[in-house]
């Protein structure tokens, strides 16, 4: 049996007619950016998240970069975030000219540890960027309390957390700004690149729209030097179709995660959903000190796996130039040696989940030399 980490082809076949019809209409109209499809996605996604506004942009990285700039953050400012994330989180801070300050993660959720944030705040701190990693929300209340106490802004990196919830509210609606990616492997992904910003602040929304479009406040009238960060109509046409399926796909992911968690052996540390959160399982990430051996074993069984992310930002070569002083993040450094992403996507079948679990049980039995109760 061959099981990929992600299967985009099967999902596409189920919605192909709808997608191709919408793409065809976009091409027939030839209004290829900031047209009716982008406007529809913005309106629908704002409603989905529970915010007043959504601003379609070119990628999740664009969303983060534009959000930071829209808050007036730049050279001389500091932004607190984590090292256990895709580099775009930190990259966006650097691109705005600000300095990233990295804190450690919670060992259970792998998200920002709120207890580490306050000691990282200085007189130059302007914002906090918690990352809702793997599809589980960060613990936002203590982060928002700190932000209020120190008059800081909160930018949610929700690029992996479309539809995740914190105490009944969806990610993207919790801080001042939410940032999402529509990269093609995401729970809601286009067929290329894309992203979106969410906010309920009209001034922030207006500024984000201006920054994404070369700083224009009217055609050929540029208020600031900015970027080309627009979501195009073809990607928006795809996203408009797929957004209608997202809640259904999320529940399918959650069912698969429950099946994994019920069947995997106790020797494997499984992801936990906290009582205050709803996990959307962009990734199903297990942990074991024998990660490399398990990965090799599963590959020999035809099961593809991933590591998200094996090298934290503060240990990347790029950090030497932009990060300033070296930092010690012991929980992060331990975690990245143990994490392994198992296949998860709505179309993953019960038999495939069973095969993956049986393969892991077989691996565990081979390590201890005893059968594991199934």
Residue 370 pLDDT > 60, yes or no? no
Q: Please tell me the total number of residues recorded for the chain in this structure.
A: 374
3-state secondary structure 106-167: CCCCCCECHHHCHHHCCCCEEEECCECHHHCCCCHHHHHHHHHHHCCEEEEECCCCCCCEEC
pLDDT at site 218: 92
pLDDT band at 371; cut points 50, 70, 90: low
pLDDT at 344 over 90: yes
User: How far apart (Å, rounded) are the C-alpha atoms in residues 300 and 295?
Assistant: 9
Q: How far apart are CA 67 and CA 93, in angstroms?
A: 10
C-beta separation of 47 from 246 below 8 A:
no
Across 43-59, average pLDDT: 98
* Average pLDDT of the residues of the chain: 96
> Has residue 326 got a pLDDT over 80?
no
In this prediction, residue 295 carries a pLDDT of 98
Within 13 Å, how many C-alpha atoms sit on residue 17's CB side?
1
Position 33 confidence tier, pLDDT thresholds 50, 70, 90: confident
Domain boundaries of the chain, sorted by first residue:
8-103+113-243, 246-368
What does residue 209 show for φ and ψ, rounded to 5 degrees?
-60, -40
pLDDT of residue 213: 97
Residue 323's pLDDT is what?
64
- pLDDT per position as a tens digit, 121-160: 999 999 999 999 999 999 999 999 999 999 999 999 999 9
Radius of gyration, CA atoms only, the chain: 21
The average pLDDT across 285-293 equals: 97
Per-residue pLDDT at 321: 83
Q: What is the pLDDT of residues 204-259, one digit of tens each?
A: 999 999 999 999 999 999 999 999 999 999 999 999 999 999 999 999 999 999 99
Share of the chain above pLDDT 90, in %: 93
Convert 149-184 to b/e letters by CB count within 10 Å (16 or more is b): eeebbbbbbbbbbbbbbbeeebbbbbbbbbbbbbbe
Question: Of 149, 183, 187, 147, whose CA–CA distance to 171 is shortest?
Answer: 187
State how far the alpha carbon of 36 is from the alpha carbons of 127, 131, 218, in Å: 33, 31, 18
Q: Candidates 3.90.1150.10, 3.30.420.40, 3.40.50.1360, 1.10.1040.10; correct CATH number of 246-368?
A: 3.90.1150.10
pTM of the model: 0.97
Question: Residue 340's pLDDT is what?
Answer: 98
- What per-residue confidence (pLDDT) applies to 194? 98
Q: What is the mean pLDDT of residues 102-125?
A: 98
pLDDT in the model for residue 366: 87
Q: What is the pLDDT of residue 239?
A: 98
Structure token pair of residue 362: 């077989």
> Which residues, in sequence order, are bridge partners of residue 180?
196
Q: Which residues contact 26 (CB under 8 A, 6 or more apart)?
A: 32, 35, 37, 233, 234, 236, 237
34-53 mean pLDDT: 97
pLDDT of residue 174: 98
Return all residues near 168 (Cβ < 8 A) that are at least 6 apart.
Answer: none
Q: For residue 184, what pLDDT is reported? A: 97
Q: Does domain 8-103+113-243 have CATH number 3.30.1360.120?
A: no
d(CA 321, CA 213): 30
> In the structure, what pLDDT confidence band is assigned to residue 324 with cuts at 50, 70 and 90?
low
> Distance between CA 257 and CA 338 in Å, rounded?
19
Closest alpha carbon to 260 in 166, 193, 356, 154: 356
* Closest alpha carbon to 250 in 335, 186, 325: 186
């Amino acid at each position: 049996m061959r099981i990929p980490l992600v299967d985009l082809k099967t999902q596409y076949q189920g919605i192909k007619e709808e997608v191709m019809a919408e793409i065809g209409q976009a091409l027939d109209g030839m209004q290829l950016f900031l047209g009716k499809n982008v406007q529809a996605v913005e309106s629908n996604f704002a409603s989905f998240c529970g915010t007043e506004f959504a601003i379609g942009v070119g990628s999740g990285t664009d969303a983060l970069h534009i959000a930071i700039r829209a808050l007036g953050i730049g050279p001389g400012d500091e932004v607190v975030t984590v090292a256990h994330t895709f580099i775009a989180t930190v990259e966006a801070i650097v691109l705005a000219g600000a300095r990233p300050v990295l804190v450690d993660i919670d060992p259970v959720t792998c998200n920002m540890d709120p207890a580490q944030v306050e000691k990282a705040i200085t007189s130059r701190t302007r914002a906090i960027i918690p990352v809702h990693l793997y599809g589980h929300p960060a613990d936002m209340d203590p982060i928002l309390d700190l932000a209020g106490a120190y008059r800081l802004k909160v930018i949610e990196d929700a690029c992996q957390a479309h539809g995740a919830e914190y105490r009944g509210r969806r990610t993207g609606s919790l801080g001042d700004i939410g940032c999402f990616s529509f990269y093609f492997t995401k729970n809601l992904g286009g067929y290329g690149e894309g992203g979106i910003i969410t906010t309920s602040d009209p001034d922030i929304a207006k500024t984000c729209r201006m920054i994404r479009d070369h700083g224009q406040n009217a055609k050929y009238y540029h208020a600031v030097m900015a970027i080309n960060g627009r979501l195009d109509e073809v990607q928006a046409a795809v996203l408009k179709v797929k957004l209608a399926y997202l809640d259904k796909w999320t529940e399918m992911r959650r069912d698969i995660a429950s099946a994994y968690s019920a069947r995997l052996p106790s020797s494997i540390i499984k992801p936990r959903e906290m009582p205050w959160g709803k996990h959307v399982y962009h990734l199903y990430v297990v942990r074991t000190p024998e990660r490399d051996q398990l990965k090799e074993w599963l590959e020999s069984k035809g099961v593809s796996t991933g590591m998200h992310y094996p090298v934290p930002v503060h240990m990347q070569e790029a950090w030497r130039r932009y990060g300033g002083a070296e930092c010690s993040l012991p929980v992060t450094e331990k975690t990245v040696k143990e994490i392994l992403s198992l296949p998860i996507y709505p179309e993953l079948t019960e038999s495939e989940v069973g095969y993956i679990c049986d393969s892991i049980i077989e691996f565990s039995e081979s390590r201890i030399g005893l059968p594991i109760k199934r």
